[in-house]
């Protein structure tokens, strides 16, 4: 059961940021497992259990990122990540192209929310086609998002805006690719507390109607073929 992260994890993440090498990391691997990896996995288990107990119909799976960077994508960053994240989503061959609930802890802050790591062009085309066909459904979801003050819509938009069905839908209609509803916070007392999973689950519930909406997009026809 998650008991909270230790404040020492912040110094450890900064240590990776400024000393990203095997020579620095290997002598501290046991520390990494104790103060970073283990509590992240405990948090993931608590979030997964809490979420799936309440919504067993969604058939969710969970994952925790590895500290090791993909050797094919180092790009001069060094072999280790200075942050870890977890996701809870429906199973998919390419999970990054599906909507996921997530939590991430980095040196400067922690964050959580709902979004796509890499929404495909077809996915976004289907989102816009749905808004064109039946804008009222997405308008209801957009109003719910606008009423809450935890999450903020983030994502790249078209440089030349498209004409949305309504003013309310403009921010959503003009999303180009991956997007998220994100809550970003400085390291605070909640991060060190066993109350963190319950708080995240409560906030995720606000986004569940949007998640259900997004998970049905795969069944829509390709609007680009019309």
The pLDDT of residue 119: 86
The pLDDT of residue 117: 85
What DSSP string runs through 69-131?
PPGGG-TTS-SB-S-EEEEEE---TTGGGS-EEEEEE-SSEEEEEEE-SS--HHHHHHHHHHH
Q: pLDDT tens digit string along 82-112?
A: 999 999 999 987 777 899 999 999 999 999 9
pLDDT higher than 90, residue 181: yes
The pLDDT of residue 73: 58
Q: pLDDT tens digit string along 14-57?
A: 999 999 999 999 999 999 999 999 999 999 999 999 999 999 99
* Averaged pLDDT for residues 157-161: 93
Token pair recorded at residue 90? 């429906």
pLDDT higher than 80, residue 76: no
The pLDDT of residue 219: 85
Token pair recorded at residue 193? 């507390």
Spatial separation of the C-alpha atoms in residues 158 and 160, rounded to whole Å? 5
């Amino acid at each position: 059961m998650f008991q909270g992260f230790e404040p020492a994890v912040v110094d450890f993440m900064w240590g990776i940021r400024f000393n990203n090498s095997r020579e620095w990391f290997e002598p501290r691997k046991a520390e990494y497992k104790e103060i970073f990896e283990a509590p992240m996995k405990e948090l993931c288990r608590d979030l997964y259990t809490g979420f799936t107990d309440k919504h067993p119909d969604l058939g969710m799976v969970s994952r925790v990122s590895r500290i090791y960077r993909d050797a094919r994508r180092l790009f001069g960053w060094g072999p280790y990540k200075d942050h870890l994240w977890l996701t809870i989503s429906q199973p998919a061959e390419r999970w990054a192209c599906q909507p996921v609930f997530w939590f991430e802890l980095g040196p400067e802050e922690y964050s959580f929310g709902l979004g796509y790591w890499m929404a495909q062009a077809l996915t976004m085309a289907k989102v816009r086609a749905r808004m064109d066909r039946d804008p009222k459904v997405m308008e209801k979801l957009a109003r719910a998002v606008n009423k809450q003050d935890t999450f903020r819509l983030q994502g790249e938009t078209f440089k030349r805006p498209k004409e949305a069905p309504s003013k309310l839908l403009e921010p959503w209609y003009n999303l180009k690719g991956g997007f998220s509803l994100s809550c970003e916070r400085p390291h605070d007392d909640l991060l060190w507390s066993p109350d963190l999973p319950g708080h995240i689950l409560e906030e995720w519930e606000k986004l569940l109607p949007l998640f259900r909406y997004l998970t049905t997009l795969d069944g829509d026809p390709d609007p680009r073929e019309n």
